[in-house]
Amino acid sequence: MRWLIRSALAAGALAMALPTLAAPVTLLNVSYDPTRELYRSVNAGFARDWQAKTGQAVTINQSHGGSGKQARSVIDGLEADVVTLALSGDIDEIAARSQLVAPNWQGRLPYKSTPYWSTIVFLVRKGNPKQIRDWDDLVKPGVSVLTPNPKTGGGARWNFLAAWGYAQKTYGTPAAAQDFVRKLYAQVPVLDSGARGATTNFAERGLGDVLITWENEAQLAARELGAGRFEIVVPSVSIRTEPSVAVVDKVVDRRGTRKVAEAYLAYLYTPAAQELIARNGYRPRDAAVAQRYAARFPQLQLFDIDRNFGGWKKAQATFFADGAVFDRIYTPGPR
């Protein structure tokens, strides 16, 4: 009898210990272009954290590309457990076209599901030979500007809206703003599909005098591609860019990965992850971390997508849908 109890206890203890033997799990994070370095460090941190808490090994696979293109792939069946895209509009698009994500996704995590934010700045060559200080300098004759295609890239759309916001504020009317962006895009020799392609064209192939890009991408390029080769120019006014994250409901429910996927996104808000976020050049949400890294992120006047543009849905329809403003102002090829 005694040994029976003892073995029952032992079996119980074994069962308690079983979670440490839980089968390894994989997640697929479908993300936009410049976040490769960020998620490499975040994924390692989360895997350690999750293993310590649950005993389960987790591997996070990454897919990167232009934000709009990535959303399209998820809609077409790329099995993402989580999407971490450049703007909420792209996740809305997934929710609307495929019902893979619940429509209320933005309310499920703090800050409307944006664990970090950034802004749009300029990257110029060393010494700033074309003397680019603000948006007006971009449309001066002889200045070649690199920015990706707003049809496919997320950062590209933020770039466009930042330029539009500046022009509307400076020149007063939408007509004047349209005229400004028409001039601006006439100075663009090539529209890449994503932010990273544009950076490589600017930095490695020597195209263009100025690159309009995410602050985090500009910092990465300035840091990684040889210190002193480039300079970051912060314009007088820009836009508050808020990359969004969401669990892809239908996929996690089918794969049984909801718990770990939700923990993964929640991890992004922890001080440890916020630290990694700041270190990778994204502006953190955590006040303490933000204060520590304040020197890296200059203050500037910022437009807001909801306040100034009526949200992504409206902005998408007004500016980027087929036949909308961008199609009307941009004519590719030699002009």
Partner 1 sequence: MKTAVTEPRWLRWLLIALALGFLALNLALPLIVVFAEAFRKGADAYLAAIRDPEALTALRLTLTVAAIAVPLNIVFGLAASWAIAKFDFRGKALLVTLIDLPFSVSPVVAGLIYVLLFGMQGWFGPWLRDHDVQIIFAVPGLVLATLFITFPFVARELIPLMEEQGREEEEAALSLGASGWATFRRVTLPNIRWGLLYGVLLCNARAMGEFGAVSVVSGHIRGKTNTLPLHIEILYNEYNFVAAFAVATLLAGLALVTLVVKSFLEWRYAEQLAGHGA
- What length does the chain have? 335
**From candidates 197, 235, 281, 284, binder to partner 1 by CB under 8 A:** 197
In the complex with partner 1, which residue's Cβ is closer, 73 or 270? 73
Residues from 224 through 243 that contact partner 1 (CB under 8 A): 224-225
Does 196 contact partner 1 by CB under 8 A?
yes
**Which residue, 30 or 177, has its beta carbon nearer to partner 1?**
30
Spatial separation of the C-alpha atoms in residues 289 and 201, rounded to whole Å: 33
Ramachandran category for residue 9: left, alpha or beta (phi over 0 → left; psi -120 to 50 → alpha) = alpha
Closest distance of CB 24 from partner 1, Å:
14
Residue whose C-alpha is closest to residue 151's, from 32, 31, 322, 334: 322
- Residues in region 37-66 near partner 1 by CB under 8 A: 37, 61-65
Given the complex with partner 1, which of 48 and 223 has the nearer CB atom? Answer: 223
For partner 1, the closer of residues 74 and 289 by Cβ is 74
Region from 101-109, 220-228, 271-279, 320-328 binding partner 1, contact rule CB under 8 A: 220-228
Per CB under 8 A, does 198 bind partner 1?
Answer: no
Position 98 contacts partner 1 (CB under 8 A): yes
Torsion of CA 62, 66, 68, 73, to 10 degrees: -40
Nearest distance in Å: CB 48, partner 1: 18
77 is a site residue for partner 1 (CB under 8 A): yes
283, two tokens: 């502006």
Q: Say if CB 109 and CB 269 are below 8 A apart.
A: yes
Q: Is 73 in the site for partner 1 (CB under 8 A)?
A: yes
State in angstroms the smallest separation of the CB of 224 from partner 1: 5
Given the complex with partner 1, which of 31 and 159 has the nearer CB atom?
A: 31
318 part of the interface to partner 1, by CB under 8 A:
no
Q: Cβ 78 to partner 1, closest distance in Å?
A: 4
**According to the binding rule CB under 8 A, does residue 75 interact with partner 1?**
yes
From the CB of 65, what's the least distance to partner 1, in Å? 6
Tell me, rounded to whole angstroms, the distance of Cα 242 from its chain centroid: 7
Kindly state the tokens that stand for 164.
Answer: 């539009």
Rounded alpha-carbon distances, angstroms, from residue 271 to 47, 113, 286: 16, 16, 7
Contact 305, 161 (CB under 8 A): yes
DSSP state of 242: -
**Interface with partner 1 in residues 11-40 (CB under 8 A):** 28, 36-37
* Contact set for partner 1, span 78-97 (CB under 8 A): 78-79, 97
Which helix (H) or strand (E) segment holds residue 39: the answer is helix 36-54
Q: Dihedral sign, CA of 192, 159, 277, 242?
A: negative
- Structure tokens belonging to residue 207: 């195209």
Q: In whole angstroms, what is the distance from residue 204 CA to residue 230 CA?
A: 12
Binding site for partner 1 (CB under 8 A): 28, 36-37, 61-65, 73, 75-79, 97-98, 196-197, 200, 203, 221, 224-225
